[in-house]
Amino acid sequence: MADISNTDIKYLPGVGPKKAEILNKEVDIFSVEDLLHYYPYKYIDRSRIYYIHEVDGNMPYIQLKGRITAFETMGEGRNKRLIAHFTDGTGFIDLVWFQGARFITDKYKVNLPYLVFGKPTAFGSKFNIAHPDIDPYIEEKAEQTNLMGYYNTTEKMKTHYLNSKAIQKIMTGALASALPHVFETLPQSIIEKANLLPLKEAIRNIHFPLNPTILRDAQYRLKFEELFYLQLNIFRYTSDRRAKLKGFVFTQVGDYFNSFYEKNLPFELTNAQKRIIREIRQDMATGEQMNRLLQGDVGSGKTLVALMIMLIAMDNGFQASMMAPTEILANQHYITIQEFLFGLGINVELLTGSTKKKKREEIHSGLLTGDIHILIGTHALIEDTVQFGNLGLVVIDEQHRFGVAQRAKLWTKNVNPPHMLVMTATPIPRTLAMTVYGDLEVSVIDELPPGRKPIQTIHQYDKKRGALYNSIRKQLSEGRQIYFVYPLIEESEKIDLKNLEEGYEHICEIFPEYTVCKVHGKMKPSEKDAEMARFVKNEAHIMVATTVIEVGVNVPNASVMVIESAQRFGLSQLHQLRGRVGRGADQSYCILITPYELSADSRKRINIMVESNDGFEIAEADLKLRGPGDLEGTQQSGIAFNLKIADIVRDSQIMQYARDIAKEVIDRDPALENVENQILKRQLRKLGGNRYNWGLIS
């Protein structure tokens, strides 16, 4: 067995071609090396031996020591079962098998000492353990195998006698023959520096831990390694990209920026806005292509930052473009930006899916000649027919709606890639952002414009609407506007959701003296825009909508956001929706309506919303509730799923440490040419081939 990564598992004792095929198909184990990296998902402490008289109905897996007094077959047909009466002198318990009776009676004998392991269930006044693990009781062995690993197995595996115990047995054989052929995958210097177990020891102990401490060390070593290579790959990729790509150098701040600042800027920038504009300016002057993520809570004023950065691009002779995830939002940006730029002689255009053919052609030529300075739009922007004369900067609003591939496509719009500013109001912790988005630099607007009153969030049960409608009427009479948001209705879903149409009619009845408008995803864009416009102009006082309004709509006069069936929304979505109010100087409210019966998770989400207004706090809580697998963005980048043992949320500290060390390595030896780094290069190549797919990440 020279190369364990090339040795087929079918040659291992206890495997063979048939089981090998199952392992290939079910859990992607092909080589002996794959098998060694198939880690237990949990460990059960077998150091404690219980007495039978202690057993009750609520115990997890337990271990008993005793002997079988007799076997007995009971029941008929499907109910037929083998029972072993088992005692340890403090009581009796039944061990039960529904299959494989012959095997059991051959293997286990009456009156010999055994260790029995399993989960007791109450059966009338007696207890039994179904399909227990049984080992002969040997004095020393009982002390050695304290922590027993459990392996994930599928139904298919189990029907082919590949349960956790069987895997464990195969693993024992594999370790004995393959461990001498396991080679270290990290340089000695890193192992020493990070105080890691050698790989061999880590692998042995992840499967058969001698004690809890060494198990922790083994886990740490393997997690570190996964995260280290992840980070190393990012840095390698970044440094390659930096070497290959030249960024435009924006040296000046000129007339466009300055006249906007002096003449048109309607308010003082917040300190955070100033700081970030400075950061970005510096970043765009280095000669490297900027790739920056701007995180800022809803309402923190990202649009204005984007606009001022676009003006800097123009001051340096370039065009700029801004892409939004929905037509409504693109429209809104277009209107806002035109207002901001009024009278400055800057040509802004809007390109969306519903731009008419003639207008579209005008825009295409205006972009090539450079007559158009700023183009705002939706996905329509990245169509191949859209070519710029001199595109220097692309701003992407609400990143999480765009795939990595779409972002990459924007690069092809120019010989040199434009600078990229990606904005999101769904913040994720910094280390995670860097991992998920590869090499993006991260800026954070951690301050809201002054004079905003924190939004009051109230949880209200379905049935009690009278008081709610009274408070809403009061707001309306003071001239404020109201949103009612319903979950998106999927035709196939039979869940009893308040239908948007019904809701609309109901609200029209309750508030006959006010005008109600309606927006949902199935409307034509032109209809949607018309309805939105009525609300923006305060011709409609109440808007009934699905989540199409989630992203970015700005109506400062709106003061109440009512969210129907709030339990159906995710945390970040709720926070986004809430951000639609609280934009003016008045006290604003967010009302979360739910039924009385709520799942524990839903109740947690609602409580977090009631207690916190802080997007970062909410994002962290969300991540903890949902796990990183759901994190928008990880799906496309395929990161979270390729880690076998590390968890980018739970192990974020290890990741930060691994990142620091990876950075040191690349700083010193960007192309990994030094002798001691050959091991890294080899390993990266190997991982790149099957586990990580990094080429896609920009």
- Interface with ligand ADP (CB under 6 A), residue from 66, 132, 187, 299: 299
Query: Nearest distance from residue 233's CB to ligand ADP, in Å?
Result: 32
User: Hey, what are 364's tokens?
Assistant: 């295409």
Contact status, residue 628 vs residue 209, Cβ threshold 8 Å: no
Q: Establish if 269 lies at the interface with ligand ADP (CB under 6 A).
A: yes
Radius of gyration of the chain measured on its C-alpha atoms: 31
* Contact range with ligand ADP by CB under 6 A, out of 65-73, 297-305, 375-383, 591-599: 297-305
Residue closest to 607 by CA, chosen among 561, 571, 654? 571
- Interface with ligand ADP (CB under 6 A), residue from 298, 381, 592, 658: 298
Q: How far apart are CA 341 and CA 252, in angstroms?
A: 19
* Contact range with ligand ADP by CB under 6 A, out of 165-173, 249-257, 266-274, 530-538: 266-274
* Contact range with ligand ADP by CB under 6 A, out of 154-162, 293-301, 521-529, 658-666: 293-301
Q: Which is nearer to Mg ion, 329 or 646 (CB)?
A: 329
Contact status, residue 401 vs residue 325, Cβ threshold 8 Å: yes
Biggest CA pair distance of the chain: 98
Q: Which is nearer to Mg ion, 396 or 560 (CB)?
A: 396
* Contact range with ligand ADP by CB under 6 A, out of 188-196, 268-276, 637-645, 648-656: 268-276
Residue closest to 22 by CA, chosen among 196, 179, 158? 158
Contacts (CB under 6 A) with ligand ADP, residues 601-640:
none
DSSP classification of residue 213: H
Q: How far apart are CA 137 and CA 124, in angstroms?
A: 29
Q: How far apart are CA 187 and CA 193, in angstroms?
A: 10
Binding site for Mg ion (CB under 5 A): 552
Q: Which is nearer to ligand ADP, 301 or 377 (CB)?
A: 301
- What SS3 state is found at 455? coil
Contact status, residue 339 vs residue 537, Cβ threshold 8 Å: no
Contact status, residue 379 vs residue 406, Cβ threshold 8 Å: yes
β-strands 92-97, 81-87: how paired? antiparallel
Residue 484 burial (C-beta neighbours within 10 Å; 0-12, 13-18, 19+)? buried
Q: Give the number of other Cβ atoms within 10 Å of residue 492's Cβ.
A: 5
Query: Nearest distance from residue 355's CB to ligand ADP, in Å?
Result: 23
Query: Nearest distance from residue 40's CB to ligand ADP, in Å?
Result: 45
User: Hey, what are 516's tokens?
Assistant: 């109600």
Give residue number: closest CB to Mg ion: 552
Q: Give the number of other Cβ atoms within 10 Å of residue 530's Cβ.
A: 13
Binding mask 97-126 for ligand ADP (x = CB under 6 A): ------------------------------
Query: Which of the listed partners (ligand ADP, Mg ion, none) does 301 bind, with a CB threshold of 5 to 8 Å by partner kind?
Result: ligand ADP
* Contact range with ligand ADP by CB under 6 A, out of 292-300, 478-486, 623-631, 639-647: 292-300
User: Hey, what are 54's tokens?
Assistant: 């202690």
Query: Nearest distance from residue 204's CB to ligand ADP, in Å?
Result: 52
Give the distance from CA 316 to its chain's centroid: 37
* CA 610 to each of CA 202, 297, 607: distance values in angstroms, whole numbers, following the listed order: 45, 17, 5
Query: Nearest distance from residue 375's CB to Mg ion, in Å?
Result: 18
Residue closest to 297 by CA, chosen among 604, 570, 618? 618
User: Hey, what are 664's tokens?
Assistant: 């040191």
Q: Which is nearer to ligand ADP, 338 or 554 (CB)?
A: 554
Q: How far apart are CA 273 and CA 277, in angstroms?
A: 6
Query: Nearest distance from residue 410's CB to ligand ADP, in Å?
Result: 20
Query: Nearest distance from residue 536's CB to ligand ADP, in Å?
Result: 12
Residue closest to 5 by CA, chosen among 27, 25, 34, 26? 34
- Interface with ligand ADP (CB under 6 A), residue from 407, 583, 605, 659: 583
In which residue are the tokens 């676009």 written? 310
Q: Which is nearer to Mg ion, 307 or 680 (CB)?
A: 307
- Interface with ligand ADP (CB under 6 A), residue from 304, 374, 391, 455: 304
Q: Establish if 302 lies at the interface with ligand ADP (CB under 6 A).
A: yes
Query: Nearest distance from residue 226's CB to Mg ion, in Å?
Result: 35
- What SS3 state is found at 446? coil
Query: Nearest distance from residue 332's CB to ligand ADP, in Å?
Result: 9
Query: Which of the listed partners (ligand ADP, Mg ion, none) does 344 bind, with a CB threshold of 5 to 8 Å by partner kind?
Result: none
Binding mask 431-470 for ligand ADP (x = CB under 6 A): ------------------x---------------------
Q: How far apart are CA 583 and CA 587, in angstroms?
A: 9
DSSP classification of residue 674: S
Query: Nearest distance from residue 698's CB to ligand ADP, in Å?
Result: 23
Q: Establish if 303 lies at the interface with ligand ADP (CB under 6 A).
A: yes
Q: Which is nearer to ligand ADP, 335 or 598 (CB)?
A: 335
Q: Quick one: residue 366, left, alpha or beta (phi over 0 = left, psi -120 to 50 = alpha)?
A: alpha
Q: Which is nearer to ligand ADP, 207 or 480 (CB)?
A: 480
Q: Which is nearer to ligand ADP, 66 or 299 (CB)?
A: 299
Query: Nearest distance from residue 605's CB to ligand ADP, in Å?
Result: 21
Q: Establish if 209 lies at the interface with ligand ADP (CB under 6 A).
A: no
Q: How far apart are CA 206 and CA 222, in angstroms?
A: 9
Query: Nearest distance from residue 579's CB to Mg ion, in Å?
Result: 9
List residues near ligand ADP by CB under 6 A. Answer: 267, 269-270, 273, 296, 298-304, 425, 449, 554, 556, 583
